[in-house]
Structures are given as structure tokens and as C-alpha cells.
Amino acid sequence: MTQRLDPETASPEASKAMAALDGYVETCGLDHSLLDLVKTRASQINGCAFCVHLHTGEARARGEREERLYLLDVWWESPLYSERERAALAWTDAVTLVSESRVPDAVYDEARRHFSEEEMVKLTVAIGLINAWNRIGVGFRMAHPV
């Protein structure tokens, strides 16, 4: 696969804006372990190899267990995730697949059992951001390092 263009070179201003939002997400107060799972899961759904590679590497560097990364694609079948993580992953799936899921009330209600209103907004911003990054990665065919 050949990369179509380098988005950072093509539009430094857009890249700077995305990086600023990234900085917010990283410091918003949500657990980095949870954010790593959410970013990786959305990237799996969207088929962004660049982002899956990046976020699994970050998760490993922060001490995430390999088996939890391996089973993330079938998280609902694994007991390795906490109830809070499961609620966040279900929310990630529904928000990422919004055109298909319409984000069901049951998924929202379960997420709200585990997250405050403020945390729900922060989590949803994080999901929206990784989906934007995925569209950049997939759209421009960004290749992960070998």
C-alpha cells in the first residue's frame, strides 16, 4: 500500500488543530488505560492499521497486558475487561458505527451507570477524535512503521 499524501506536510494547521485536541484528550482526566482501549477498538472497527499499531504500542508501553489487546476485537466475549471498560467499549462501538447503530438507549444507559455526564462528553470527544484520525489514516493510506 502506498501512502497517498502526508497530511502533516499538506496542512500543518489542520494537524496542529488535531494535535491540540489530542492534548486535551490525554489530559482530560480519563484513565489512559481506558483511552488506549477505546482508541484501539475504534481503530480496529475502522480498519486503520496505522492507528492500531500506534495505540497498541502506547498501551503496551503503559503496561497493558497482551491478552487484553489480543481479545479487544471480541471484548464482549472476554471476562478480562471491567464493567466500566465494557461500558466504554460498547459506547465506542455504537458511536463509531453511528450510521448503523443509531447509538441505542441501552448502550447509553449502561455507559451512564459508569460515567458522569462530564466523563461521557470527554469519552465521546475521545471517540470522535480517534474516528477523525482513523479517517485520515485510512483515507490517505498511512502505513504503520515496519
**What's the pLDDT score for residue 1?**
80
Residue 64 CB contacts under 8 Å (≥ 6 apart), including other chains: 33, 36, 37
Whether 99 is covered by a domain: the verdict is yes
Residue 69 pLDDT exceeds 90: yes
Count structural domains, the chain: 1
The model carries a pTM of 0.96
Q: Which domain, by its residues, includes 132? A: 32-139
Q: Is 16 contained in some domain? A: no
Read off the pLDDT of each residue in 19-36 and give the average, rounded to a whole number: 98
**pLDDT the model gives residue 146:** 80
Q: At what angle do helices 117-139 and 32-46 cross, to 10 degrees?
A: 40
Q: Can you give the CATH number for the domain in which 48 is found?
A: 1.20.1290.10
